[in-house]
Structure 1
Amino acid sequence: MTALADGSGVGTLLRGWRERRRVTQLELALLAGSSARHISFVETGRAKPSPEMVLRLAEHLDVPVRERNALLLAAGYAPRFPETPLNDAAMEVVRSGLERLLAGYEPFPALVLDGRYDVVAANRGIGLLLEGVAGHLLEPPLNAMRIVLHPEGLAPRIRNLPEWRAHLLEQLERRITLAGSEVLRELHDEVRGYPVPEREHERSDAASGLLPFALPLRVEHAGHVLSFVSSIATFNTPLDVTVSELAVETFLPADPETVAHLRSLTP
């Protein structure tokens, strides 16, 4: 919504999203069933798009749901997508479904993140990995990026920290490009500035921990080195801002030793 406070019109915002996606006016027009002339008129303010056209262009430009509301407001229309708190009664189906999913994945770690990488739900497997993390990092709102990369967080126990750190920073950069979020940019700059703990075994672990299909997370726990492959799932057709920004991250054990260790901790 920042662009609204700056007085930017819908045309300026749409042009910004189009350029960010590296789509020409003609390409966007063909996708949206319009003409390059009309797209040009919308971007320069010579034509006012209907709310349906705003949403159609936003769909083809893969604009996040939150920012689609901003486009509608900039064009003088009411927002179409509510932002319902996850603890609202109307979100019971979503909440209970996520809780069942997390519980069913135990003893392996799984959590739910919002659009700022804040943890909104987690299972007991995640709790095991957080043992030893500094208390100030576990105060709400818990932020996954800070917990993993902070020198008082998981970072000192991650055996392939340089590779995993680079992966997370790249993930953040992709999200910033997609969403154009200043909040994520500030988070990226913060965690990138954290000092990186030096570890004597990092070089050997970087080679020995490689998998042929994915980069694993290798983390120490109770004298064991656990290895996981991360998978992220999102809702396919969200009509609510909150739901559109939720992501379920599950950590699949990458070796039999990790499976055995986690199952040994299950009551």
Structure 2
Amino acid sequence: MYTVGEMLREWRHRRRLSQLDLAIAADVSARHVSLVETGRSRPSTDMILRLADQLDIPLRDRNQLLLAAGFAPRYTQRPLEDDALAAAREAIGRVLRAHEPYPALVVDRRWNILMTNRAVDQFFADVDPELLEPPVNLVRLGLHPRGLAPLVVNLADVRAVFRARVRRQLAVVADPELTRLYEEVLAPGGRDEEAGSLALEADVVIPMTLRVDGRELNLFSTITTFGTPMDITLDEVAIESYYPADDASAAYFADR
């Protein structure tokens, strides 16, 4: 089992910071950072959270740091349906509804879909019902031949975008379930990877092109997260909002 100092050092290496960089950001001495990392100084709860904040460590992993140091966890984790998260859930619902007629959905850290707006329904109409049994995974659904893949014109590009995003997640935090998803759906190979990589290098934003009702719709997405969550669930949810990338695509949604 790792000590809190070893865990902080690992996070610092992941963020590619020196002890001096972290010390300046956290307003402590580099010597103190060194003492904490080597176990010669036992950090307080406040010190752990200060360093974790500067290292942008997810709340789930901050709890692990506190436990390793002998302290109680600071952050709770409740289902999004919990009464305690009613205000946050309503805020998310408002964002989803306000985005209509364009599609938007909410995913957790493993890309499981938690909520959608009504504009998403039309895209799920021809999906195999088995893929819509909870938990519905956006990556698997989007790339599966019985899911949304038949609608996606530039499937190699979309796969490359998902691959890059999941790789970044795994580079920050090892997650066995997310690793299995990557190996199942996103493992690179052949022309698919090459074509997607070329497109990613050539453009600033890679649109997703869908063929729907005999028309091609070009969409790009943005991600919204909670700014200062105190609950692990809220820390890990993201709202994926899709926008038309051209006038013809915008006109399609305006007519819905």
Give the TM-score taking structure 1 as reference length.
0.87
User: 5+ unaligned residues in a row in structure 2: which ranges?
Assistant: none
Bigger Cα displacement from structure 2, 49-58 vs 25-34: 25-34
Aligned equivalents of 1:235 and 1:196: distance in 2?
A: 38
User: Measured at CA, do residues 186 and 144 of structure 1 come closer, stay the same or move farther in structure 2, by a change above 3 Å?
Assistant: same
Pairwise CA distance, 1:131: 2.2
Bigger Cα displacement from structure 2, 36-45 vs 138-147: 36-45
Aligned equivalents of 1:189 and 1:258: distance in 2?
A: 33
Pairwise CA distance, 1:126: 1.2
Pairwise CA distance, 1:222: 2.0
Aligned equivalents of 1:26 and 1:142: distance in 2?
A: 44
Q: Which residue of 2 aligns with 1:243?
A: 234
Once the two structures are superposed, the pairs formed by residues 218-257 of structure 1 within 5 Å of their partners are 218-257=209-248
Once the two structures are superposed, the pairs formed by residues 130-209 of structure 1 within 5 Å of their partners are 130-193=124-187
**Aligned residue type for 1:45:** G
Q: How many residues align?
A: 250
Q: Which of 51, 54, 59 is residue 48 of structure 2 equivalent to?
A: 54
User: 5+ unaligned residues in a row in structure 1: which ranges?
Assistant: 1-6
* 1:20-63 superposed Cα distances (whole Å, 9 cap, x missing partner): 11111122122222222222221222211101111011111111
Q: Give yes or no for contact 1:107–1:263 (8 Å, CA) kept in 2.
A: yes
User: Identity of aligned pairs, percent?
Assistant: 42
Aligned equivalents of 2:151 and 2:37: distance in 1?
A: 50
Pairwise CA distance, 1:135: 1.7
Aligned equivalents of 1:48 and 1:194: distance in 2?
A: 44
Pairwise CA distance, 1:183: 2.7
CA RMSD of aligned residues (A): 2.3
Pairwise CA distance, 1:230: 0.5
Pairwise CA distance, 1:193: 4.0
Bigger Cα displacement from structure 2, 30-39 vs 238-247: 30-39
**Aligned residue type for 2:121:** G
Q: Which of 108, 115, 120 is residue 114 of structure 2 equivalent to?
A: 120
Pairwise CA distance, 1:197: 11
Aligned equivalents of 1:212 and 1:27: distance in 2?
A: 33
2:72 is equivalent to residue 78 of structure 1: yes
Aligned equivalents of 2:183 and 2:238: distance in 1?
A: 22
